[in-house]
Structure 1
Amino acid sequence: MSDDPTPRFRNPFRHYPPVTDRTVTTKVDEAVPAPLRVTAAYSWRLLVIAGVIALFIWLVMLLKALIIPMMVGILIAALLWPGFQLMLRARFPRWLAIATTVIGAIGIVTGLIWLVVWQVRAQLDDVQTRTALAFEQFKAFLLDSPLHLTAGDIDAYIAQAQEFLTEQQDWLLSAAGAVTGTAAEVVTGALLSLFILVCLLADGAGIWRWTLKLFPRKARPPPTPPRATAGTR
């Protein structure tokens, strides 16, 4: 008899073999060639991936008024981040660094737009002159072409085109209204991108940590180890 007074637990299932994972197959499965089974397994997985991609594209198209400004804001924040960090290292207050970055971004975009408009206005007279010259050359080509057109025929066709445009005035007005609506959407998207830019500059790290919490823990990147100070070894 053992001197240990603690009773030992005896497993009543110790005489049974251990349970292992088993794949249940049927005669039909065994009759299908192995390459065909592998191909079928790949096929349905690829179909699932294609469906997820299609769903993502559909959601982007459905929420383009929100997703596109958000992506633009993230891109602008990534471009301005080095300068913003440089101002923070220079002991700038955070609100002053944000204001300087946002005002600088607005100034750069405004300057680029003004440069484009200035170039267009500077070349407008030259473009009009070249357009009139190209029209006269095209008219001379039609007069000398095998079509045997006369100047009166060309003027008649031009008058018909002007009459057609006059008849389609309602359609042109509706198209102008669509362009105006598009311009309003662009302005709204620009304001939303500006708001997202300010939020990212204000607390981009906090927003990133909150975004990572939406994913499983195993899918998150490992935490960054703390930097060693000069006094530690």
Structure 2
Amino acid sequence: MSERYQVPPGVEIATAWAWRLLVIAAAGAVGIFLLRYFSEITVPLAVALLGTALTINAVNFIESRGVPRLLATFAVVIFMLVAFFGMLTLVGQQLSTQVTDLRSNVVEGISQVQDWAKTGPLKLTDSQIQGYVDTAKESIASSDTSVVTRVSELGSTLTHVLAGFFIALFSSFFFLYEGERIWSWVVALFPRAARDRVDSSGHTAWASLVAFVRATVLVALTDAIGIALGAWVLGVPLTLAIGVLVFLGAFIPIIGALLSGMVAVLVALVAQGPWTALFMLLVVVAIQQLESHVLQPFLMGRLVAVHPLAIIIAIAAGVTVAGVVGALIAVPLAACLNGVVKHLVSTAQEYQDEPEDDVPLEPEPA
């Protein structure tokens, strides 16, 4: 073949990289599709793993005191259920007792906005304001035809949520009770030569997940107590509900507590006016700064340290793939991958640094 028909080395290398990247991208796309297609199973399993990482040490501690592991698992799972439903009960009770006053404040606020529209720089007349109100009513009324469809969709969603709750509950129980046995079965699926590294990588990922969940709970609890205490001092209603919302939102690092804290600012604006809302905003910003500069670096430590840019990218990717649930799962997944990559790199380095065994030379023929 003539020289001018040969493929340049750069093109050959680029082509080799290109088709391999295409195969990796295709495999990733198929994996994401399967995860989303079976989301009614994969999401509860992910939630169960997070719950297991939070409570596994409690089960081990109870078992170390001579209690059978089955009873220890039952005790921890029941405690989790009581804490979860107790928190919902307290929030529901506060909503039922204070939502009437808040609704009155909303009505009063709307009246103040109408007065400002007439006397302020807009100088709107009563007929113009009534026209805007009528337009809003017509927009709401035009959507009545889809009420039945929306109700049916809501019923289907509630059914899926209920099914996912029981899947997560039973998965958490068995992960806590015999997680080592389940993991051993998973490791046995891999080729024999790769089982040691798979097992060590899995334990590293699990240690990173446990540390991440513990630190996140402490950070979320600090955020919730700080913002709820600030709301209580300022006289903002629904203090307990705000604290619970901030606690749940703080599981999405960097932006979760800030976004949920904005709800407290909105409630303060509706209930107490702009000055109270401004002070509430200052409280939220102060708590967020405390989290970003003190709690996150101190509690997360080097084991699960992930760069803030990587966290933002992981959250964005999680939202794109699976919405709020994806944002919740993306960061712990990134922490686990970070731990596994560091572990494999250190293992490979140790393997390269090991001296080769001395191989005896065969005697030379006479």
Q: TM-score, normalised by structure 1?
A: 0.74
1:111 to 86, 100, 103: 86
Tell me if the contact between 2:45 and 2:168 (Cα under 8 Å) persists in the aligned partners. yes
Q: Give the whole-Å Cα distance in 2 for the aligned partners of 1:39 and 1:189.
A: 45
Secondary structure class of the residue paired with 1:136: helix
Give the unaligned 5+ runs of structure 1: 1-25, 225-233
Aligned-residue identity in percent = 28
Partner of 2:112: 137
* 1:149-164 correspondence to structure 2 within 5 Å: 149-164=124-139
> 1:212: how far off?
0.9
Partner of 2:31: 56
Tell me if the contact between 2:59 and 2:69 (Cα under 8 Å) persists in the aligned partners. no
Q: Give the whole-Å Cα distance in 1 for the aligned partners of 2:153 and 2:18.
A: 44
Partner of 1:102: 77
Partner of 2:160: 185
Q: Give the whole-Å Cα distance in 1 for the aligned partners of 2:118 and 2:71.
A: 68
Partner of 2:339: none
2:43 to 65, 68, 79: 68
> 1:143: how far off?
2.3
> 1:207: how far off?
0.9
State the Cα deviation string for residues 63-102 of structure 1 (Å, max 9, x = none).
0001111111122112110000011111102221121011
Q: Which amino acid aligns with 1:84?
A: V
Q: Which has the higher contact order (CA 8 A, sep 6+)?
A: 1
Count how many residue pairs are aligned between Structure 1 and Structure 2.
199
Q: Which amino acid aligns with 1:210?
A: W
Q: TM-score, normalised by structure 2?
A: 0.49
Partner of 2:145: 170
Task: Tell me which protein shows more helix as a share of its residues.
Answer: 2
Partner of 1:200: 175
Q: Which amino acid aligns with 1:85?
A: N
> 1:28: how far off?
7.3
Secondary structure class of the residue paired with 1:92: coil
> 1:156: how far off?
4.2
Partner of 2:335: none
Q: Give the whole-Å Cα distance in 1 for the aligned partners of 2:28 and 2:5.
A: 34
> 1:27: how far off?
5.7
Q: Give the whole-Å Cα distance in 1 for the aligned partners of 2:154 and 2:87.
A: 22
Q: Give the whole-Å Cα distance in 2 for the aligned partners of 1:145 and 1:139.
A: 10
Q: Which amino acid aligns with 1:181?
A: S
Q: Which amino acid aligns with 2:192?
A: R
In the superposition, relative to structure 1, how do residues 28 and 71 fare at CA in structure 2: closer, same or farther (>3 Å)? farther
In the superposition, relative to structure 1, how do residues 31 and 136 fare at CA in structure 2: closer, same or farther (>3 Å)? same
Q: Which amino acid aligns with 1:125?
A: T
Partner of 2:228: none
Partner of 2:286: none
Q: Give the whole-Å Cα distance in 2 for the aligned partners of 1:215 and 1:170.
A: 54
Partner of 1:125: 100
> 1:190: how far off?
0.5
C-alpha RMSD of the superposition: 2.6
Secondary structure class of the residue paired with 1:220: helix
Partner of 2:58: 83
| Higher Rg | 1
Q: Give the whole-Å Cα distance in 2 for the aligned partners of 1:43 and 1:100.
A: 53
* 1:218-229 correspondence to structure 2 within 5 Å: 218-221=193-196
Query: After TM superposition, what 4+ stretches of structure 1 lie above 3 angstroms from structure 2?
Result: 26-30, 118-123, 144-149
In the superposition, relative to structure 1, how do residues 40 and 27 fare at CA in structure 2: closer, same or farther (>3 Å)? farther
Farther off after superposition, 90-99 or 143-152:
143-152
In the superposition, relative to structure 1, how do residues 84 and 134 fare at CA in structure 2: closer, same or farther (>3 Å)? same
Matched, 1:209 2:184: yes
